[in-house]
Amino acid sequence: MSKEEFEKICDSISTISPFIRFVGVIGESGNLLAYKRRPDLIPLLDEKNTQYQFSHIAIKTDLEGFFDKNLGQIEFVWEEREKVQTISFAIKKSRVWISIDKKVIRSEMLRIIDSCLPLVKKFS
C-alpha cells in the first residue's frame, strides 16, 4: 500500500470520535508509516518509548500469525490500561494502532470499533 493510502486511513479514523488521541499505521518492522495525532495533545510516551511500543506491536503481530490457521485472523485487539485505551487492527502485515482517552464509556469504544472495521477491511 502507498503512504497516501495509509494517511487516508489515519485521517478517516481520526474523525470518528473526538476521544481518539492518536492513529498510526505501523509496518511489519515497527516503523511508523503514517499517523494523525489530536491537536494540542501531550503524548504519554516519549520518542524512545514510542518506538519500543511500535516494535512490540510488530513483534506481536508476527507471532500472532502462527495461530491464524487454527483460530482465524485477528480482527481487532482492545486493550485497557490505567491511562489510555488502545485498539489495533491488522491490514495485511501492518497494524493500525489507535489510542483513545481512558474515560470513554464502553458504548463509545464499541462505536469506534464498529466504525473502524469497515474502513480497515476495505484495505485488507
Q: Could you state, in order of their start, the residue ranges of all structural domains in the chain?
A: 3-123
Tell me: domain 3-123, CATH 3.30.420.40, correct? Answer: no
Query: 27 vs 60, which has greater pLDDT?
Result: 27
What interhelical angle do 3-14 and 106-123 show, nearest 10? 160
User: How far apart (Å, rounded) are the C-alpha atoms in residues 28 and 59?
Assistant: 8
CB burial readout 63-81, b (16+ within 10 A) else e: eeeeeeeeeeebeebeeee
Is pTM beyond 0.75? Reply is: yes
User: How far apart (Å, rounded) are the C-alpha atoms in residues 9 and 122?
Assistant: 10
Mean local confidence (pLDDT), 24-35: 91
Task: Give the rounded distance of the alpha carbon of 33 from its chain centre.
Answer: 12
Q: Is the pLDDT of residue 46 over 80?
A: no
